[in-house]
Amino acid sequence: MRFKDKCVFITGANAGIGEQATLKFAKEGAILALSDLSEQLNDNLQKELKQLNTRFSYKKCDVAQSESVYRVFAEFVNEFGKIDIGVNNAGILGPRIKTDAYPESSFDQVIDVNVKGVFYCMKGELNHFMQNGGGVIVNTASVAGYVGMGKHIAYGASKHAVLGMTKSASVEYGTKNIRINAVCPGFTETAMLESVDDDMAFKEMLKISTPMKRFGKPEEIADAILYLASDESSFMTGQGIILDGGLSVQ
């Protein structure tokens, strides 16, 4: 069990990539400090974690609010004694609108969640890791952090920022036994993809544009998160792993 007795803090744990990462960490023996915007963890996930005899706790957290992040993180540290791994996964897409008409309020919301939220989580984690001899951070970025994504100016900007923060912080803490990397999914079968558009023809176009001619699965992205969090990637920091079915190489 790669993560036996390791405590993993996961944001956006209630669905999609976060949910699959939660289950995979549980199967590898981790202690789980879970958070999301919902009042409670979804029933199916709770049931599966209990069946696995996983030690876990769930707290509502709005990552766009620094006080919410710092409070929840401190409560988890108090409850479990430490955090070893931070998976900063919470994020939103925002509306699909061309840049000249993109609402400023939507832009602000995407930046607040996807950029500031990751920053707040990283800040809390780094302060804790510095006091406890090290740790690992895995941020959820996107292939949109590498390539242009039309009609998603805020999302593209936010994911470029996540990669920038990942790289910058990795340089700062490389000698402190702290590794910081990111996963960069392409189109993945999550609620976020469902929110892109109700037009099935558009979704089919997204699939066809991917060389593997399919969408990614949340568990495939979760596998990469576990790799980055594990000792198997011990000489890796400041990197963004792209999992996009070949989309970005065209």
**What would the pLDDT profile of 60-82 be if each residue is shown by its tens digit?**
999 999 999 999 999 999 999 99
Six token digits for residue 102: 């993109």
Options 3.40.50.720, 3.20.20.70, 2.40.50.140, 3.40.50.300; CATH for 7-188+217-241 is 3.40.50.720
b vs e for 19-44, b when ≥16 Cβ sit within 10 Å of the residue's Cβ?
bbbbbbbbebbbbbbbbbbeeebeee
- Asked if residue 53 has pLDDT above 70, the reply is yes
pLDDT, mean of residues 50-58: 98
Rg (CA), the chain: 17
Q: Residue 203: what pLDDT?
A: 78
pLDDT at 146 over 60: yes
What percent of the chain lies above the pLDDT cut of 70? 97
Evaluate if residue 139 carries a pLDDT over 70. yes
Q: Which entry of 70, 155, 173, 227 is annotated as an active-site residue? A: 155
The confidence score (pLDDT) of residue 44 equals 97
Over 60: is that where the pLDDT of 147 sits?
yes
150-208 pLDDT, tens digit each: 999 999 999 999 999 999 999 999 999 999 999 999 999 887 766 665 567 777 888 89
Rounded to an integer, the average pLDDT of 111-125 is: 98
Instruction: Assess whether pLDDT exceeds 80 at residue 142.
Output: yes
Q: What residues does each domain of the chain span? A: 7-188+217-241
Q: Is the pLDDT of residue 98 over 70?
A: yes
Torsion, CA 193, CA 155, CA 241, CA 189, rounded to 10: 0
pTM: predicted TM-score of the whole model, two decimal places = 0.96
**Is 155 designated active site?**
yes
From 47-56, 84-93, 190-199, the region with the lowest mean pLDDT? 190-199
